[in-house]
C-alpha cells in the first residue's frame, strides 16, 4: 500500500464519518471529540462599535446537508445555486461567530458556541480567547440568543462544571421553559428521531451548570449598557436578536434568522429547523428590513467568518454584502 492509497483510504473514511452524521447543524452526531488541528489562520476579529470594543471569536464550524437549511428549495434549483456559489452540493458549512464586547466595565460574550455538542470542529473559542490574551475566568457574562446546542454547548466544562466560572448566563425565558424545563416535542425538526433526542439531551446537559443562577430575560429587554435584545421568535419560542449600540454607532446581531447567506438571504429559502416557520419568516423580514433601511452593520452568527456585513434590499428580497476586512 503506497502513500497515495493510504491517503485515499483516510479521505474515504472521513467522508463516511461525515455522511453518517451530516444532519441538522450537526457534524458528528452530537459526539464528543477533540477539535481537529487548526490551520493557523486567525479565529478572532477586532473592531469597535462607538466606545465599545468588540471581537468576533470563532468557535469553529458545524454543518449538514444543504436541504436542512433550505427546506422549501426546489432540488434542482438548490443544487444550481450552490454550484454557482462554488459551494459543495452535499454539505453546507456553518460558522460559529460568537461576539465578545467590553461595555460598562464588563466582558460580555454573546453566544457560547457549540463546543463538542455538534461535531468535532466546534470548541475553538478557548484557543481564540487565549489568542487575544484572555481566559474563561475573564468573562463576566454570557448572553445566548436561544438555547440550541450550538449556542450553549460551551457552557459546560468537560468535568460537568462551569466552563466560564465567573460568568452570569443570560438566556431567553421562553426557550428555557420550552427546551430546559420541559420535554420538548421536536418532531418539527427535519432530522431522524435519534438525532432529535441527542439534540434535546445536549441542551439539558450544556445548561446544567447554569441551572441555579441563570438570569432569564424577556426578548426586548436591555441586558447591559449598550446591549439590547430584540424579539425574534419563530426559530425557537424565545429567540432574540441583539443590538449593540454606542453613541450613533450600531451593530445588529441576527442570531439564527438565517443560516447561510446564499440560501437564506440571496435566496429566500426557509430553514428546516425553524419551529414556527411563519413567525420566523416575519421576524426575519422585520429585522432584515430594519438592517437594510438603516444601513446597520450586521453580525450573522452562522455566516462565513467573521460574519460581518450589511443587508441590502433588492426588488425580490435581500442580498448579503460582506464587510471589507479591516487590518
Ligand atoms: Zn445556530
Separation of 97 CA from ligand 1 center, angstroms?
10
Separation of 175 CA from ligand 1 center, angstroms?
14
Does residue 80 register a pLDDT over 70? yes
Separation of 152 CA from ligand 1 center, angstroms?
10
Which residues keep their CB under 5 angstroms from ion ligand 1?
150, 256
Distance CA 62, CA 164 (A): 22
Residue 38 pLDDT grade (very low, low, confident, very high; cuts 50, 70, 90): low
Separation of 259 CA from ligand 1 center, angstroms?
7
Separation of 83 CA from ligand 1 center, angstroms?
24
Does residue 54 register a pLDDT over 60? yes
Separation of 45 CA from ligand 1 center, angstroms?
20
Does residue 218 register a pLDDT over 50? yes
Averaged pLDDT of the chain: 90
Tell me the pLDDT tens digit for each residue of 120-146.
999 999 999 999 999 999 999 999 999
Cell of 19: 455522511
Separation of 255 CA from ligand 1 center, angstroms?
7
Separation of 250 CA from ligand 1 center, angstroms?
22
pLDDT at 17: 32
Cell of 81: 445555486
User: Which DSSP state fits 38?
Assistant: P
CA 293 to chain CA centroid, nearest Å: 24
Separation of 37 CA from ligand 1 center, angstroms?
23
User: What is the value of pTM for the model shown?
Assistant: 0.89
Separation of 118 CA from ligand 1 center, angstroms?
10
Separation of 275 CA from ligand 1 center, angstroms?
13
Does residue 16 register a pLDDT over 60? no
Separation of 6 CA from ligand 1 center, angstroms?
36
pLDDT at 233: 98
* CB 245 within 8 Å of CB 228: yes
pLDDT at 23: 41
**Of 214, 259, 218, nearest in space to 93 by CA:** 259
Tell me the pLDDT tens digit for each residue of 258-316.
999 999 999 999 999 999 999 999 999 999 999 999 999 999 999 999 999 999 999 98
Region 102-121: what's the mean pLDDT?
A: 96
Domains of the chain: 43-322 (3.60.15.10)
Separation of 7 CA from ligand 1 center, angstroms?
33
**Of 126, 121, 167, nearest in space to 144 by CA:** 167
Tell me the pLDDT tens digit for each residue of 175-213.
999 999 999 999 999 889 999 999 999 999 999 999 999
* CB 307 within 8 Å of CB 59: no
Write the DSSP assignment of 245-299 as a string of letters.
EETTEEEEE-TTS-S-HHHHTSS-PPPTT-SSHHHHHHHHHHHHHHHHHTT--EE
Q: Quick count: other Cβ atoms within 10 Å of Cβ 222?
A: 11
Amino acid at each position: 500500500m503506497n502513500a497515495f492509497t493510504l491517503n485515499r483510504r483516510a479521505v474515504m473514511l472521513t467522508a463516511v464519518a461525515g455522511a453518517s452524521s451530516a444532519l441538522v447543524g450537526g457534524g458528528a452526531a452530537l459526539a464528543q471529540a477533540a477539535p481537529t488541528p487548526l490551520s493557523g489562520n486567525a479565529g478572532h476579529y477586532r473592531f469597535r462599535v462607538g466606545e465599545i470594543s468588540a471581537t468576533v471569536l470563532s468557535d469553529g464550524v458545524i454543518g449538514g446537508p444543504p436541504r436542512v437549511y433550505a427546506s422549501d428549495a426546489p432540488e434542482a434549483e438548490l443544487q444550481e445555486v450552490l454550484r454557482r456559489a462554488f459551494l459543495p452540493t452535499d454539505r453546507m458549512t456553518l460558522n460559529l461567530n460568537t461576539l465578545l464586547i467590553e461595555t460598562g466595565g464588563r466582558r460580555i460574550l454573546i453566544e457560547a458556541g457549540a463546543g463538542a455538542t455538534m461535531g468535532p470542529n466546534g470548541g475553538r473559542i478557548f484557543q481564540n480567547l487565549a489568542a487575544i490574551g484572555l481566559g474563561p475566568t475573564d468573562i463576566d457574562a454570557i448572553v445566548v440568543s436561544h438555547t440550541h446546542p450550538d449556542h450553549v454547548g460551551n457552557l459546560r466544562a468537560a468535568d460537568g462544571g462551569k466552563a466560564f466560572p465567573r460568568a452570569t448566563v443570560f438566556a431567553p425565558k421562553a426557550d428555557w421553559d420550552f427546551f430546559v424545563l420541559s420535554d420538548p416535542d421536536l418532531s418539527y425538526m427535519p432530522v431522524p428521531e435519534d438525532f432529535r433526542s441527542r439534540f434535546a439531551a445536549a441542551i439539558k446537559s450544556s445548561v446544567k451548570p447554569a441551572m441555579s443562577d441563570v438570569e432569564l430575560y424577556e426578548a426586548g429587554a436591555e441586558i447591559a449598557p449598550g446591549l439590547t435584545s430584540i424579539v425574534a421568535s419563530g426559530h425557537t419560542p424565545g429567540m432574540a436578536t441583539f443590538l449593540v449600540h454606542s453613541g450613533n454607532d450600531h451593530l445588529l446581531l441576527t442570531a439564527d434568522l438565517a443560516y447561510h447567506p446564499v440560501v437564506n438571504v440571496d435566496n429566500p429559502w426557509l430553514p428546516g429547523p425553524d419551529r414556527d416557520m411563519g413567525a420566523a419568516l416575519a421576524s426575519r423580514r422585520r429585522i432584515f428590513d430594519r438592517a437594510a433601511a438603516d444601513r446597520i452593520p450586521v453580525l450573522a452568527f452562522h455566516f462565513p467568518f467573521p460574519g460581518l456585513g450589511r443587508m441590502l434590499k433588492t426588488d425580490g428580497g435581500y442580498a448579503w454584502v460582506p464587510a471589507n476586512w479591516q487590518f
